[in-house]
């Protein structure tokens, strides 16, 4: 059995993780965002291995490792997803739009014209996260009558496996 990790309340299979350092993880996203008139934007999350809801509660060693990891991953992901820039965000607390109570950095590849107005991306992230929070709540209540499929575990695993090869890993968490 492959190891699992926590992202807030959610169990994450190692197959959906593409990067591991001493204190951080890189995770492919469950639900990509879709700008109005372009294709889906797939993006990744970087988080501390320890479940810590708020940024201020990280140790300085975790902060250093998290941002070092985000820095390493950012360059690779931008190139890999043929971005021309990156939106890097951290929503710290529910009033800032955080839906998963576990610190995480969003690394979102950007291209010219992906959003008609550049800053519309923030409204899009916020809206999608609210929908996702509702959806995940329904799933945990075992009343999943939601037909809309975000991404399958296989799809996420295949993306993570492709990305994994591009990084030096601190541990091998992927062998069964």
Give the catalytic positions in this structure: 104
- Between 7 and 174, CB nearer to ligand AMP: 7
Residue 29 CB, nearest approach to ligand AMP (Å): 5
Q: How far apart are CA 128 and CA 143, in angstroms?
A: 20
Cα 140 versus chain centre, distance: 20
Tell whether residue 71 is among the known ligand binding residues: no
Tell whether residue 41 is among the known ligand binding residues: no
Residue 11 CB, nearest approach to ligand AMP (Å): 8
Residues interacting with ligand AMP, by CB under 6 A?
7, 10, 12, 27, 29-31, 45, 91, 97-100, 129, 132
Any idea how long the chain is? 176
Q: Interhelix angle for 153-164 vs 60-80, to 10°? A: 90
Query: Would you state the structure tokens that stand for residue 58, as one six-digit string?
Result: 């990280």
- Between 29 and 72, CB nearer to ligand AMP: 29
Q: What is the DSSP letter of 165?
A: T
Residue 12 CB, nearest approach to ligand AMP (Å): 6
Tell whether residue 102 is among the known ligand binding residues: no
Q: What is the DSSP letter of 116?
A: S
Tell whether residue 140 is among the known ligand binding residues: no
Tell whether residue 98 is among the known ligand binding residues: yes
- Between 12 and 121, CB nearer to ligand AMP: 12
- Between 46 and 100, CB nearer to ligand AMP: 100
Q: How far apart are CA 90 and CA 98, in angstroms?
A: 8
Listed residue (51, 18, 43, 55) closest to 129, CA to CA:
43
Q: How far apart are CA 69 and CA 67, in angstroms?
A: 5
Listed residue (118, 112, 125) closest to 34, CA to CA:
125
Residue 156 CB, nearest approach to ligand AMP (Å): 7
Q: Which residues are known binding-site members for substrate?
A: 29, 91, 97-100, 106
Q: Which residues are known binding-site members?
A: 29, 91, 97-100, 106
């Amino acid at each position: 059995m492959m190891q699992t990790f926590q992202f807030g309340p959610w169990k994450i299979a190692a197959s959906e993780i593409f990067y591991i350092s001493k204190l951080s993880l890189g995770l492919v996203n469950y639900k990509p965002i879709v700008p109005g008139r372009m294709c889906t934007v797939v993006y990744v999350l970087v988080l501390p291995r320890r479940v810590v809801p708020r940024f201020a509660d990280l140790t300085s060693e975790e902060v250093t490792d998290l941002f070092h990891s985000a820095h390493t991953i950012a360059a690779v992901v931008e190139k890999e997803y043929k971005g021309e820039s990156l939106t890097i965000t951290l929503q710290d607390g529910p009033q800032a739009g955080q839906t998963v109570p576990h610190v995480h950095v969003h690394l979102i590849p950007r291209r010219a014209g992906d959003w008609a107005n550049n800053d519309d991306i923030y409204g899009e992230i916020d809206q999608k996260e609210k929908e996702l929070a509702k959806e995940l709540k329904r799933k945990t209540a075992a009343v999943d009558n939601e037909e809309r499929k975000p991404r399958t575990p296989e799809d996420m695993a295949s993306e993570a496996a492709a990305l994994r090869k591009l990084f030096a890993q601190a541990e091998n968490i992927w062998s069964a």
